[in-house]
A and B are shown apart, each in its own frame.
Chain A
Amino acid sequence: MKKKVLSILLTVAMTASLLAGCGSAGSGAANSGAADAGAADSAAADAGSTGDAAASGDVEEITWMFWDDLEATEDLISKGYKEVIDRFNQDYAGKYHVTPVTTNLEEYYTKLNALVASGEAPDVFIVSPGPNLTTYVEPGVAADLTPYLDADWKGSFSSDAVFAQQTYDGKIYAVPLNIAAACVFYNKEMFEEAGAAVPKTWDELIDACEKIKAKGHTPITISAGTAWCLSMLAGYLCDREGVDLKKIDSGEESWNNPKTLDAANKMIELSQYFQPTAAGDTNDVATAGLYNGEAAILIQGSWAIGQINGENPDFEQKCGVFQFPEIPGGNDPNRVIAKSDSLAMSATTKHPEASIALMKYFTDDTAQKYTAEVGGKIPVTNVQYDATKAPAQLADVMDIFSNASSTFGFYNESLFSTEAGSTFDDNMVAIYLGEKTPEQAFDDLDAWYAANKK
């Protein structure tokens, strides 16, 4: 009898503990909320003599999600963001506190999407304008920031145009932090050694590559392993040929047309100058190819300045920048691919004031000055910065940017969905790898559009 009672008791205890486990997993948010409240209560109770502890119970805790590891990074822009976070936490100590949630770039949207899907979206998160931002605007994940901007914030920005890519139906859903322009970086020493001039046209570019190759150097370092890098080159070539992307994306024109085919053939022509491992090299490996002196040319956005100068400070003086060359008889050669990092706020955040306060820290004078002087990106506000302190490459980028007749986005970020962008990227890589002819690739894109565009 004793044994029976004992075994039943044990069973009940085991079952109860298991179910308790289930319970806390199922309603984790509610429970932890209650626990927090409890902790706050006890903190308040304990705080009879120490006022500070009571205050700590009222700290509004928010999260900020970002695509680089703030502790390990060598990227100067990321380091700047870390300073912003530290400054915010220091200035608002006792009132607000932000905790960064970081991933690497490749995993970023995967993790963000998983958090959004599970109803735990970060309060503030970084996002690329274009279909990526649309993904969060359409289902109402990103909050409308217009009222906050209109209140007292918008005036500090350099112009309303900086919000162009973040505006949907007249409402602004994200705040840009900086602008980067895609250009061509080159190794001045290698160009000099090969007797190559800075190319202004397509033929001059091929000529320069030929001369550098003759000297035994790799002319171009590029990543096809990280598909958007190759796709950026394809985008530039298409634009220089005069491709009208809007018409193609809306279905008025087909992908398979003489201009896209010309662009693809030029990409194939240029690919003989790529490093032999381009097919699998990641973006970081390809960029390292330039600052380690393995190749002469890198086609990249000016966001790479922070990475290049951070990883190899000695390379700064050897590094020149030029505008992507003109294709004679083609489109306006002064058009530039521009991209901005933007911050969005979760529509479900319980702490909008804290979130907005944080976002303002990213666009205040200290942060924007850092963006230009250290990070080497173009600021979005009217901040005055010391051009002599800024990276050597920024002056060239500013030149290109201020002479630009107009800007356009990455091709893969200008199509109707993220997947359409990836399909474009994949087909460009397939052309480069020789898996498909340009005709096949663009036919496949047309077929994909027919099947997937609603």
Chain B
Amino acid sequence: MEKLLRDKKAIAVFVLPAFILFTLILFVPICQSVYYSFCDYDALTSPKFVGLKNYQNLIVDDTMKIAVKNSLFFLIYSCVTQLVMGLILAGLLTNIEKGRNVFKNIIYLPCVLSSAALGLLWMFIFSPKLGINQILAKFGMQGPLWLMDIKGYITLPMWVIAFVALWQYVGQSMMLYMAQISGISKSLYEASYIDGCNKVKSFWHITLPLIKPMVGTAMSLNAIGSLKFFDLIFNMTEGGPNHKTEVLATHLYQQGFKYFKYGYASAIGTVLLILCLIMTFVINKLFQSENYEM
């Protein structure tokens, strides 16, 4: 086998299928989409080159401003909360003896369920006629319009959706951190206890530095996931009321598939792609660390 892998032709043969597939279904469409972003294109007639016009329109588009604001809010909110909650849960679960697997499965379960179904479920829970507000009404309280309120810089529906997203995806961060934590040698902890550390201190001085690379990975995944976030929002509010919960992906969808403005939608897609690349780069820089022997 090793001999075979030294043969350049053999390597090429192995790599070729994946390379062709990658090029055909990913690289070519991305390039096409970037080209369309400079065109007036409705998919029914052939694209007409218009230069930077789509990007100029993006700058003055009010919905785009809301979408960028919401996407950035979502990015910051989920990076911070998933990091904190994921770490806390991972720290707790690696330290309990009984029921670890049960809790792990319960917390991870929403990750494997369909976002569309969960979106509908939570929409019902927050619906004024069905869910939480009916329970509150039993105690004589009037709940807010969870998914319809429009007051504030970041509206209440955005906070609600961000909370649901945290609930759904925190299990994934937790699993990543747990995997990394369980790889840390017990002897390090034992040594720290002998030196007088308590559990909190050893978490701070041993666990955290050693899982730093994983924090970087989990955060990049998180950042990209939250920038291109679509399904929960589309199922819970469809970007409403009046575009107040629009994010980049829902705005792109509307422009492309509702108004046939594929050129403009491609421009939004290009902005989204660039944002994702920048975020990955920044996070990788922030969490660059040496790999310790564990």
Contact = CB atoms under 8 A, between A and B. Distances in A.
Q: Do A and B truly interact?
A: yes
Interface of A: 4, 7-8, 11, 14-15, 18-19, 22, 106, 109-110, 113-114, 116-117, 135, 139, 141, 224-225, 227, 276-277, 279-280, 285, 417-419, 422, 426, 429-430, 433, 435, 451
A17 B83 CA distance: 42
A141 B24 CA distance: 28
Nearest to A288: B129
B182 interface: no
B20 A280 contact: no
B145 A11 contact: no
A285 B237 contact: no
A277 B43 contact: no
Contact of A113 (B238, B243, B257): B257
24 contacts: A4-B4, A7-B4, A8-B13, A11-B13, A11-B14, A18-B17, A19-B17, A19-B20, A106-B238, A110-B253, A110-B257, A135-B260, A224-B241, A225-B148, A227-B242, A276-B128, A277-B128, A279-B145, A280-B237, A280-B241, A419-B261, A426-B243, A429-B242, A451-B60
Contacts of B242: 224, 227, 426, 429-430, 433, 435
B260 A113 contact: yes
Ranked 9 nearest A-B pairs via Cβ: A280-B148, A139-B44, A117-B43, A110-B257, A279-B148, A18-B17, A429-B242, A277-B128, A419-B259
Contacts of A418: 258-259
Q: B24, B242, B258 — which one has the most chain A CB atoms within 10 A of its CB? A: B242
A429 B241 contact: yes
Given A7-B4, A426-B242, A114 B17 contact: no
B89 interface: no
Contact of A279 (B13, B21, B129, B150): B150
Q: Interface residues of B toward A: which range?
A: 20 to 34
B133 to A, nearest CB: 9
Contact of B17 (A14, A224, A225): A14
A277 B129 contact: yes
Interface in B41-98: 42-45, 60
Interface string B1-33: 000100000100110110011001000000000
A241 B58 CA distance: 36
Contacts of B13: 8, 11, 15
B240 interface: yes
A418 B260 CA distance: 10
Given A117-B43, A433-B241, 7 more contacts: A7-B10, A18-B17, A117-B44, A117-B260, A139-B44, A422-B258, A430-B242
B17 A15 contact: yes
B150 A435 contact: yes
A116 B145 contact: no
**Interface SS, B side:** loop
Contacts of B42: 139
A22 B4 contact: no
B145 A280 contact: yes
Interface string B223-241: 0000000000000011011
B147 interface: yes
Contacts of B145: 276-277, 279-280
Contacts, number: 83
A418 B242 CA distance: 16
Given A11-B14, A430-B242, A433-B241, A22 B148 contact: no
A415 B6 CA distance: 67
A141 B45 CA distance: 11
A442 to B, nearest CB: 15
B17 to A, nearest CB: 5
A22 B20 contact: yes
B147 A280 contact: yes
A451 B57 CA distance: 9
A299 B243 CA distance: 24
Contacts of A451: 60
Nearest to B255: A419
B21 A285 contact: no
Contacts of A422: 258-259
Contact of A22 (B21, B129, B147, B258): B21
Contacts of A276: 128, 145
Contacts of A19: 17, 20
Contacts of A7: 4, 10
A198 to B, nearest CB: 28
Q: B24, B43, B237 — which one has the most chain A CB atoms within 10 A of its CB? A: B43
Contacts of A109: 257-258
Interface string B144-165: 0101101000000000000000
A451 B61 CA distance: 11
A22 B260 CA distance: 28
A279 B148 CA distance: 6
Contacts of B17: 14-15, 18-19
Nearest to A22: B24
Nearest to A429: B242
A200 B152 CA distance: 40
Contacts of A4: 4
B148 A277 contact: yes
B150 A433 contact: yes
Contacts of A417: 259
Contacts of B21: 18, 22
Contacts of A224: 241-242
Contacts of A435: 150, 242
A410 to B, nearest CB: 16
A271 to B, nearest CB: 14
Contacts of A117: 43-44, 260, 262
Contacts of A8: 13
